[in-house]
Structure 1
Amino acid sequence: MKGTLSLSNGQSFQGIWKGAAKDVQGEIVFFTGMTGYEEVLTDPSYHGQIIVFSYPLMGQYGIQTAHLESEVIQPAGIIVTELYEGALEKGISLFDFALQHNVPIMSGVDTRSVIQTIREDGTMQAVMQLEGKPLPAWKPIRTFLVPHVTAKTITTHGEGFPHIGLIDFGYKKSILQALLDRGCKVTVFPYTVTTDVLSAYQLDGLLFSNGPGDPASLEHKLADYKEWATNYPSLGICLGHQLLASAFGASTEKLPFGHRGANHPVMNMKTNRVSMSSQNHSYVVKKDSLPDSLSVLYLNVNDNSIEGVQHNELPFITVQFHPEASPGPAEHHEVFDTFFDLIPFEKKVSTHA
């Protein structure tokens, strides 16, 4: 079957339809990594989007469940140049995985042209549809996506120290695993958790996770997040970074086409060291909105946007990129070590006494 990708700017692209026979609409974005499609497709930060992969061949090593970041495919649709459908040594094919999750794929698409259009005109709404069907009416854009991906219940993992509360806006499994690998006890909370509930768990620190959508959609929770970051050593990642910065007075804006890939250079402003990072976001903290209480910790080398901040008095840091880096380089695991150094040493001693 043939299919059509229609962009809201009026352009359209043809391809071969694979998988679920349903039309989908979503914000169209692109990912520049050569590998890591398993992690990308199950990353909750991509919830509801249509993702275009820049690497020309996808699916060549199948799907390995150990690498999934959540239990389901998060994007609404998948666009590739070529879909590998040959034999696999293990796992299931990308085609079968998409079919299981009722997500359509279009292959044979001129992805270079699609990506060039996004780079020139910015991210926009798009529709994937089977050929011959009339273009459906454009649906309103959803910006508050966190309720669709947050945890439904409170769960605890591990038994070590420190005890970290993970505020779930759509966290990646590899973030939880990075904490467990460092001997932590981790309790995952829905983003709607109350201050009283947090207090009952005797936490040593908080991690504000990644997630989809516009940080402004959580403005009603910023007072809580400021209170929590004032009382607990905290780390914010991606959306969590944007929310903590916003809670202390910064504002955010949407990038023309976002940062999505495993090769984004960032500079540590303390050490002047440049390293590669894995990223997936549309919004950034506006540099000229940063309050005096916050200092820039990381900058993006390509466009000079803020990639992380630290509070000048309180024990919290944030990063726009993914320090757990799945997929991507492993150069930023030190972010977790910096976070743990914010947790009082005296408490560590008394805990083990």
Structure 2
Amino acid sequence: MQAKLALADGTVFTGRGFGATGETTGEVVFNTSMTGYQEVLTDPSYTGQIVTMTYPLIGNYGTTPDDQESTRVQVAGFIVRELTRVPSNFRSNNSLDGFLKASNVVGIEGIDTRALVRRLRVRGSMNGILSTADLDDASLVKKAREFPGMEGRDLVSEVVPKQAFKWKDGFGAFADHVIPSKPATKRVVAIDYGMKWNILRCLTQVGCEVTVVPGTASADEVLSHNPDGIFLSNGPGDPAAVGYAIDTVKNLIGKKPIFGICLGHQLLGLAFGAKTFKLKFGHRGANQPVRNELTKQIEITTQNHGFSVDPSTLPSNVVPTHINLNDNTLEGLKHTSLPVFSVQYHPEAAAGPHDSSYLFEDFRKMMG
């Protein structure tokens, strides 16, 4: 089955379709991880994006419900160099092809992903369209150029849960001998802007009873659960477009200890009065080096973000705590007197694998 990927700059790639048939538009981005493709596919932070995997062979260990980060596939489309059609793993219960078919998500294989990624690195992430239906180059490029893009779009409202619930899954991302499972002695409200499930597992593992509320919740709704601490989750899209979330965070600062990850980090920055900006091609992968400015230790991190907080706009009582060593962008911040901190990267993804596990422990200790 022939498929085509067209970019807004007029570039067209021709390959073979897999997964569902049809057509999808989105921002074309790339992820440098060698493994973890199912976690990528089900991460709500990828809503509205067509994801390219830079590792050339994808699908070799199939898929399993145990590796999901949400209830469904969240990406708009998926691009690989070579698809493994016969997976080999005792945990697998479906192939990648079958997984995308069941999720009605279009994929393409057999294109030069190295050339595609080089183009995205030079020109920046750009809008694109992936199709097995319309194979006319000019028509596809026109559609790609008409896609509205990510800036200014509130994608959080598309992925938040409909109502609050208590998290019951106690599985942890880190081995018990690294972070022992503890009885739940602290109540945490996790504000879900498009949260990965492994964050909830990590909070549970350090001794937190977690109630999840939608990202549209007000400060009064969050505080009505009488939490010991508040967690701000990851999520998709432009943080500056989620005004209701920024207002909620503003009204929560100083009321309870707060810990944010990814979009939660960006929302904290905006709530403190800082500004965010769009990165040229974003940070997506499991090999991003970050320096902890407080300890000077280096962490290997997993990242997935297209926007960043401008450290030069932070107020004097908010200081940088982590810096990305590839481009010196801000990867963490904290308030100098209030129990509030955040990181841009994903400690729950265990890229190090245990380099960043201390952050969940720090949040637990901050609650007393």
In the superposition, the TM-score normalised over structure 1's length comes to 0.94
RMSD: 1.4
Partner of 2:12: 12
Q: Indicate if the aligned counterparts of 1:278 and 1:329 stay in contact, CA closer than 8 A.
A: no
Name the SS of the counterpart of 1:100 in structure 2. helix
Q: Which moved more, 1:239-248 or 1:126-135?
A: 126-135
Partner of 2:227: 203
Q: Which amino acid aligns with 1:107?
A: E
Partner of 2:285: 261
Does residue 341 of structure 1 match 2:365?
yes
Partner of 2:84: 84
- Report the CA distance shift for 1:335/1:206 in structure 2 as closer, same or farther (over 3 A): same
Name the SS of the counterpart of 2:70 in structure 1. coil
Question: What is the distance in 1 between the residues matched to 2:352 and 2:361?
Answer: 19
- Report the CA distance shift for 1:220/1:154 in structure 2 as closer, same or farther (over 3 A): closer
Partner of 2:42: 42
- Report the CA distance shift for 1:117/1:87 in structure 2 as closer, same or farther (over 3 A): closer
Aligned pairs (5 A) from 1:179-190:
179-190=203-214
Q: After TM superposition, give the deviation of residue 13 of structure 1 in Å.
A: 0.9
Name the SS of the counterpart of 2:117 in structure 1. helix
Q: After TM superposition, give the deviation of residue 93 of structure 1 in Å.
A: 0.2
Does residue 144 of structure 1 match 2:168?
no
Cα displacement string for residues 90-140 of structure 1 (whole angstroms, at most 9, x for unaligned residues): 321000000000001101010000000000000110011126343253232
Q: Which amino acid aligns with 1:156?
A: K
Partner of 1:311: 335
Q: After TM superposition, give the deviation of residue 20 of structure 1 in Å.
A: 1.4
Q: Indicate if the aligned counterparts of 1:316 and 1:339 stay in contact, CA closer than 8 A.
A: no
Q: Which amino acid aligns with 1:86?
A: V
Does residue 157 of structure 1 match 2:175?
no
Q: Indicate if the aligned counterparts of 1:39 and 1:327 stay in contact, CA closer than 8 A.
A: no
**Structure 1 segments unaligned to the other structure (5+ residues):** 346-353
Q: Which moved more, 1:128-137 or 1:26-35?
A: 128-137
Question: What is the distance in 2 between the residues matched to 1:236 and 1:23?
Answer: 35
Does residue 213 of structure 1 match 2:237?
yes
Question: What is the distance in 1 between the residues matched to 2:27 and 2:220?
Answer: 37
Q: After TM superposition, give the deviation of residue 293 of structure 1 in Å.
A: 1.3
- Report the CA distance shift for 1:173/1:16 in structure 2 as closer, same or farther (over 3 A): same
Partner of 1:249: 273
- Report the CA distance shift for 1:215/1:87 in structure 2 as closer, same or farther (over 3 A): closer
Q: Which amino acid aligns with 1:140?
A: P
Q: Which moved more, 1:231-240 or 1:130-139?
A: 130-139
Cα displacement string for residues 72-99 of structure 1 (whole angstroms, at most 9, x for unaligned residues): 1111111000000015343210000000
- Report the CA distance shift for 1:270/1:326 in structure 2 as closer, same or farther (over 3 A): closer
Cα displacement string for residues 288-315 of structure 1 (whole angstroms, at most 9, x for unaligned residues): 1111110011000111110000001110
Name the SS of the counterpart of 1:231 in structure 2. coil
Q: Indicate if the aligned counterparts of 1:46 and 1:212 stay in contact, CA closer than 8 A.
A: yes
Partner of 1:119: 121
Aligned residues: 344
In the superposition, the TM-score normalised over structure 2's length comes to 0.90
The alignment-based identity, stated in percent, is 41
Q: Which residue among 177, 190, 196 is the counterpart of 1:166?
A: 190
Q: Which residue among 89, 95, 104 is the counterpart of 1:102?
A: 104
Cα displacement string for residues 190-227 of structure 1 (whole angstroms, at most 9, x for unaligned residues): 01112222222110000000000000111343232122
Q: After TM superposition, give the deviation of residue 340 of structure 1 in Å.
A: 1.6
Partner of 1:351: none
Name the SS of the counterpart of 1:33 in structure 2. coil
Question: What is the distance in 2 between the residues matched to 1:254 and 1:123?
Answer: 10
Question: What is the distance in 1 between the residues matched to 2:119 and 2:6?
Answer: 12
Partner of 1:128: 130
Q: Indicate if the aligned counterparts of 2:8 and 2:128 stay in contact, CA closer than 8 A.
A: yes
Question: What is the distance in 1 between the residues matched to 2:340 and 2:197?
Answer: 22
Question: What is the distance in 2 between the residues matched to 1:183 and 1:87?
Answer: 37
Q: After TM superposition, give the deviation of residue 342 of structure 1 in Å.
A: 1.4
Q: Indicate if the aligned counterparts of 1:324 and 1:330 stay in contact, CA closer than 8 A.
A: no
Q: After TM superposition, give the deviation of residue 328 of structure 1 in Å.
A: 6.2
